[in-house]
Amino acid sequence: MLYATGFAQICSGTLNTVWKDDFGNGIAQMAPIPSPGITNGYIYQNNGVQPGNFTIVNRFDYFSFWHVIPQDHTPNDSNGYFLVILVIDGNPAVPIFYDVLVDNICPFTQYSFSTAAMNIDKPEFPSDQTFTFIISDTLGNQIATWSSPALPALNTPEWKPMGFSFSSGNNTKLRLQVKFTETGFNDFAFDDFQFSVCGPLLDINSPVTGNTCTDSIPLFSVLGSGYANPVYQWKKKNAAGILETIPGANSVNYVDRSPGDSNFYSVLVGDGSLFCPIVASKQINLSAVKKTNVVTTICRGLSVEGYDKTGIYIDTLKTVGGCDSIRTLNLTVTSCTAGVINKYTPVFNINPCNNTLTTGATTRSLPEILLISMPAIPCC
């Protein structure tokens, strides 16, 4: 079944892009290598573009007939390329300008196709471009088709999103074809052809909000209806910004017991397997926290920070502005004998001339002092 409305991409749930052609990026204004998806009916030019040909550029600024297009559509894509087709009374016998085979399709899965298009003609060269998108199996049987609304010439050019949803049927490969359905002044740009899995709604909730102080972050996945046998996998970005699989984190929920200052999580959910999952992500930033681990042993009768029994103690120390540090104390309490007690060295000062003895400790008073008989020391 096919769903489409106007320019909007149709998917009421969560999208996970599994294939994308964004034409790459580069410093040179024109891409040195054409896209493999362009059909043989059009000639690639990398030194300007003439009617009936195409180019792939990161900026389009040729002649006064067309708008200047300063950048591509792809978000956060420095020097990103996009496709420009100049038809201008093009040959209607070669209307298909893009044709590509997409691999690794999951059978019987709901997908969304999307792209962004732009009319680069100025209003004095009026054109109302329309396009037809065709998705077929490898034998040529059409799975879905969709014709876009007209894309009019504007005073200020705009990237217009286009898209629709379809079921993959019993296929692991699908062919995407795009053709224009109008001739005349018909000059346009495209970017970001992509297929995305369209699954149930998926989100991540946590009671921990940003810029708070905590030594653990509980995460709860929230999955809408639609998957009969949901399978989960949690991931987290490491210090290098690479998303890594968390071993054993295969449940609906996950608790991170060693969060850092910046924490980016993703949960992948599939129906029966994780071959074609949907994904939800969440960023949680904590207040800068100094973490200290202390391992120490003391004698019975002493204490460390108020603790006098063997155990592990975790204290969160707060300032007026929030969390300052988290201290973990691993304390062992033992029976002690005479000698050096808990790293505190007794000091004995003996004066045999006046028969006096003074005692003390290098840091603090000891709970007990062992008296030792000593031989007589001659007085000078």
Question: How many folded domains does the chain comprise?
Answer: 4
pTM above 0.85, yes or no: no
Q: How far apart are CA 276 and CA 106, in angstroms?
A: 6
| Shared-domain flag, residues 208 and 191 | no
| Residue 207 to residue 374: CA distance in whole angstroms | 66
The reply to whether 317 falls in a domain is yes
120 domain-assigned: yes
What is the per-residue pLDDT for 1? 39
Do 175 and 268 have their domain in common? no
What tens digit of pLDDT does each residue of 78-93 get? 889 888 876 544 455 5
Using one digit for the tens of pLDDT, what is the confidence trace for 129-158?
A: 889 999 999 999 999 999 999 888 899 999
- Same domain, yes or no, for 140 and 250? no
| 3 inside domain | no
Same domain, 24 and 122: yes
CA–CA distance, 129 with 111 (Å, rounded to integer): 25
> Same structural domain for residues 370 and 221?
no
The pLDDT tens digits of the residues spanning 300-312 come to 889 999 999 999 9
Specify the 3-state DSSP secondary structure of 277.
coil
Same domain, 46 and 133: yes
Domain that holds residue 311: 290-334
Higher-pLDDT residue of 175 and 319 is 175
Answer whether residue 102 shows pLDDT above 60.
Answer: yes
Given a cut of 70, whether residue 366 has pLDDT beyond it is no
Residue 164 and residue 267 in one domain: no
Residue 308 forms part of a structural domain: yes
Q: Judge whether 186 lies within some domain.
A: yes
Residue 1 domain flag:
no
Residue 160, in any domain of the structure? yes
> What are the respective helix, strand and coil percentages of the chain, to the nearest 5?
0, 50, 50
Could you give the CA distance from residue 49 to residue 56 in angstroms, rounded to a whole number?
Answer: 10
For residue 134, is it within any domain? yes
- CA-nearest of 179, 111, 176 to 147 is 179
CA–CA dist 34, 85 (Å, integer):
12
Domain boundary among 252, 270, 285: 285
* CB-based contacts of 165, cutoff 8 Å, min separation 6: 2, 3, 4, 10, 11, 110, 111, 112, 113, 198
Residue 192 burial (10 A CB sphere; 0-12, 13-18, 19+): buried
Tokens read off for 267: 């949960």
10 band by pLDDT with thresholds 50, 70 and 90 = confident
Query: 102 and 49, same structural domain?
Result: yes
Q: Read off the CATH number of the domain in which 262 is found.
A: 2.60.40.2700
Is the domain of 103 the same as that of 172? yes
Six-digit token string for 341: 């007690």
Encode 339-368 in three state secondary structure.
CCECCECEEEEEECCCCEEEEEECCCCCCC
Q: Tell me: do 188 and 93 sit in the same domain.
A: yes
Residue 94 CB-density burial (10 A; 0-12 exposed, 13-18 middle, 19+ buried) = middle
Residues 248 and 347 in one domain: no
127 & 231 share domain: no
Tokens linked to 283? 């960023």
Residue that terminates a domain, selected from 199, 225, 241: 199
Domain finish residue from 149, 178, 199? 199
pLDDT band at 321 (very low <50, low <70, confident <90, very high): low
- The CA distances from residue 359 to 175, 355, 371, 378, in Å, are 92, 14, 11, 20
